[in-house]
A and B are shown apart, each in its own frame.
Chain A
Amino acid sequence: MESNAAALTEREAAGLVEAEGSETSRTSLREVELSTEAGPGDAIRLAEAMEDDTIPHFDKFLGHLGTLPWDRYGVRLGAIVGAVILWHVLSVNHVDMLINFANIPNPVVVGDQLVFLLGTSEFYRHILVSLERIAISFGIAAVLGIFIGIIMGRSRIFSDIMMPYIEILRPIPAVAWIPMAILMLPTEEASIIYITTLGAFFPIVLSTLHGVEQTSGVYIRAAQSLGAGRIAIMRHVVLPGALPSIMSGLAIGMGVAWFSLLAGEIISGQYGIGYFTWNAYSLVEYESIVIGMLIIGGLGTLSTWLVKQASKPALRWQESET
């Protein structure tokens, strides 16, 4: 049996008998935008939905920057301006219909407060602390997620060992981890990093696993017949084949990382944009709440966009696919 395994793994052998030419489904980054607005559960459901190519094309915003005609940017800009005007009208007139705008600061007040905050070094510190936490957590999650995902995809036993943990831990929201994280880890900072890493880890590991599993058996056999060994197959076939999935996993992971980070920062910590927002509520600085929220939205969008831009060169070959 051992020499048999040298020729091909059980999985590949199964693939030999049937479904020879099954099309590898192409996952794209198109679903990713949603993750910044949705909770971790949603993002993971999206990661699963990627297996299904029939899901609708979500409109891209930043993903298409530079490729859309200018009039469409005009419409998008108009939509934002319209929302700001509506917000202004509702809040200035203290409209109270279902949603109460009486206590909501209007855009002008928020703008004044933003100008003031931009003059304080404290404000930048909150932002930088959050960015640093995201960078560390996302880095750890990316390395671990890709590494574990690849091994899971290539080893049935490892996959069977890991899968129950992933299935059980994955639905636990970041907020629910906070008490346990504080008990387990020495510092608050470590707890926040832990929670953020965990949030980003699951979509990355699952997308990587999916990408590795969908590697077509025919590519592996082609490589084998050209003299490639296990390591060469991993490097030249499995990894590049899984790259589109890995990259969309990273983009989703980035969204979930922000979500988890904010949960961690709100409950504990002394700095960070989440702490800033929550603290503003305690101090009854309603303008700062709005600013904190908008900063979170902006940074989340920007970082996801960066991940996608970084992945573009590696996926250039996909542009020629029809």
Chain B
Amino acid sequence: MSGIEYAAAESGMGMGTEGDGEANTLPPLGKTHTTQLKADKGQVTIEGVTVDFGGNVAVDDATLEIRPGEFLCLLGPSGCGKSTLMNTVAGFVRPTAGCVSVDGVQVEQPGLDRGMVFQQHSLFPWKTVCDNVAFGPLMANLGKDQARATARSFLEMVGLSGYENRYPGVLSGGMKQRVGIARALANYPKVLLMDEPFGALDAQTRLVMQENLLQIWSEFGITVIFVTHDIDEAVFLADRVVIMSASPGRLIADLPVELERPRSLAMTTSDVYIRTKQRCMELIRTESKRAFDQQRSVA
């Protein structure tokens, strides 16, 4: 894997625990990703994508350009088709019309250039934590030992070195998602797709996870598409919030978030934050009301 070469020298890794002197053939993951990757890789182009599940239009003519290294939140009410739109980028769903491409290459099927983090229950329960994370490198034809070594360095990054030989069943929800993120990153994808990854977590854990995610993102400089229905989460995380409406799923607004990086919890009381949040709320409320009226007139 060429990606491993991006790893840099020692650094106090995010939420990771410090190296414990264990024979680790790979250097810890470092901050140099930011400059190396942000420049050119991970450009996602969504052009006129429509997804029609046999008369039920989930996504209607969505066009979106995501810059390399950008953190984009796809915000919208439940069932508006935002997950479906992301699944077209992942390659799980083929658009009825339009096309999706990553760095100019059209998406035909799932691939290891696009890492995926699911809402829940996606770790293989029959594999240990280490083997879960090593699965991607193994599929990328790294040998078993090297795949495990890669997995261990990623587990260290998410602070779960002590759990590598446990099964996912014993982990808490937050820990499972950290393993999920480590697993998705272990192939050094260009794009990280996250489908409401923190939706099932309690509010406190969610906050910690959001900060951790931002730290990992800044270290990897990877493009992130993050699907959520939580306005606070979207504004806190994103460079850009794209709002989607329900039935049919349309992209209705594209708001830049002009908060500086690195983000901190203190910013959630700033004027910029509140203004952006209000704007999102207005758009969503108008949209929800319209959908509500529409449903009522049908009934």
Cα(A322)–Cα(B121), bound, Å? 13
Task: Assess whether B139 is in contact with A226, with CB atoms less than 8 Å apart.
Answer: yes
Contact mask for chain B residues 135-146; partner A; CB cutoff 8 A; 1 contact, 0 none: 110011000000
Residues of B near A216 (CB, < 8 A) are: 121
Quick one: which of A4-57 are within 8 Å of B by CB? Answer: 4, 6-8, 13, 16-17, 20-21, 23
Cα(A316)–Cα(B170), bound, Å? 13
Task: Assess whether A224 is in contact with B109, with CB atoms less than 8 Å apart.
Answer: yes
Cα(A74)–Cα(B136), bound, Å? 52
Set B116, B121, B124: member contacting A225, Cβ < 8 A: B116
Contact mask for chain B residues 163-198; partner A; CB cutoff 8 A; 1 contact, 0 none: 000111110000000000001100100000100000
Total inter-chain residue pairs, C-beta < 8 Å? 102
Contact mask for chain A residues 292-322; partner B; CB cutoff 8 A; 1 contact, 0 none: 0000000000000000000000001110111
Quick one: which of B107-135 are within 8 Å of A by CB? Answer: 108-112, 114-116, 118-127, 135
Residues of B near A227 (CB, < 8 A) are: 111-112, 136, 139-140, 187
**Which among A170-178, A185-193, A237-245, A260-268 touches the partner chain?**
A237-245
Residues of B near A4 (CB, < 8 A) are: 94
Judged by a CB distance under 8 angstroms, whether A114 is at the interface is: no
Q: How many residues of A contact B (CB 8 A)?
A: 35
Chain B, Cβ-Cβ closest to A217: B92
Judged by a CB distance under 8 angstroms, whether A86 is at the interface is: no
A26 to chain B, nearest CB (A): 10
Task: Assess whether A321 is in contact with B125, with CB atoms less than 8 Å apart.
Answer: yes
Set A7, A13, A222, A243: member contacting B126, Cβ < 8 A: A243
Q: How many residues of B contact A (CB 8 A)?
A: 38
- Given contacts A16-B92, A320-B170, whether A21 and B114 have CB atoms under 8 Å apart is no
Judged by a CB distance under 8 angstroms, whether A92 is at the interface is: no
B281 to chain A, nearest CB (A): 27
Judged by a CB distance under 8 angstroms, whether A3 is at the interface is: yes
Set B116, B169, B183: member contacting A221, Cβ < 8 A: B116
Residues of A near B110 (CB, < 8 A) are: 7, 221, 224-225
Set A8, A226, A316: member contacting B183, Cβ < 8 A: A226
Contact mask for chain B residues 81-125; partner A; CB cutoff 8 A; 1 contact, 0 none: 000000100111110000000000000111110111011111111
Task: Assess whether B124 is in contact with A240, with CB atoms less than 8 Å apart.
Answer: yes
Task: Assess whether A226 is in contact with B135, with CB atoms less than 8 Å apart.
Answer: yes
- Given contacts A226-B139, A227-B136, A317-B125, whether A322 and B111 have CB atoms under 8 Å apart is no
Chain A, Cβ-Cβ closest to B180: A222
Residues of B near A219 (CB, < 8 A) are: 122, 124
Chain A, Cβ-Cβ closest to B125: A317
- Given contacts A237-B124, A320-B167, A322-B169, whether A222 and B187 have CB atoms under 8 Å apart is no
Contact mask for chain A residues 180-223; partner B; CB cutoff 8 A; 1 contact, 0 none: 00000000000000000000000000000000000010110111
| B interface residue numbers (CB < 8 A to A) | 53, 87, 90-94, 108-112, 114-116, 118-127, 135-136, 139-140, 166-170, 183-184, 187, 193
Given A7-B109, A7-B110, A317-B126, 12 further pairs, Cβ under 8 A: A7-B92, A17-B53, A21-B119, A218-B121, A219-B122, A221-B116, A225-B91, A225-B110, A227-B187, A317-B127, A318-B169, A322-B169
Nearest first, the 9 A-B pairs at minimum CB distance are A320-B169, A227-B112, A224-B110, A227-B139, A225-B116, A226-B136, A240-B126, A7-B109, A321-B169
